[in-house]
Amino acid sequence: MKGPALKLAALLASVAGYYPAPPDCVRGLKELRGEFRRSRSEIIFRWITAGLFVALGAFLAGMAYGKYFGASSASGALIPGILAFVLVGLALGVLSTIPHRYEFNSGRVSMYGWRNKLMWQEELGDLQTVMCTSTRGIIWMTLRWPRRKRSIELLDKLAEALSVARPALRGRQRSS
């Protein structure tokens, strides 16, 4: 692709939430040192969000129960029952990302989950590109190596550390 076609592709990608990280982002990640996890306010917000999803799901499950047994209407209970399961699933999705922490050390990135369990670890030496995606206010960084890719959430502290090391990232941070 050249000229106008490349510009159109870049425009469509940016509308969809994709944008390339600054060129020096790969070098910034390779030089980064430290541990990055969610702040206390981010954790509290996620617990409150999950609690609201569960409460609304329980309300809808109660509606489905009442419709099915009270009015003997299976079709009337179907939609609230499905929505209840969806909301509880969303709550579990929100809660599953709370313990994620990333550690950058000695040219390697590690992701830890619940109970500090190592989820994955990759060498940053052969990291080729970084692509950022913005979905619902969350910025994801997709790190690409020759044979694999990993996605990490651009946590506030990680964004701050990268912007201190690389000023080109300052314009890409999410607002708090």
pLDDT in tens, 38-80: 888 888 998 999 999 999 999 999 988 888 887 777 777 888 8
- The radius of gyration of the chain's CA atoms, rounded to the nearest angstrom, is 21
Question: 16-37+101-172 — its CATH code?
Answer: 2.30.29
- The Cα–Cα gap between 36 and 159 comes to 10
- CB of 153 closer than 8 Å to CB of 94: no
DSSP one-letter code for 79: H
pLDDT in tens, 128-176: 888 888 776 678 888 999 999 999 988 888 888 887 554 444 454 444 4
Identify the CA nearest to 32 among candidates 136, 124, 115, 134. 124
- The Cα–Cα gap between 74 and 71 comes to 9
Q: Across-strand partners of 122?
A: 109
Where is 77: in which H helix or E strand? Answer: helix 74-96
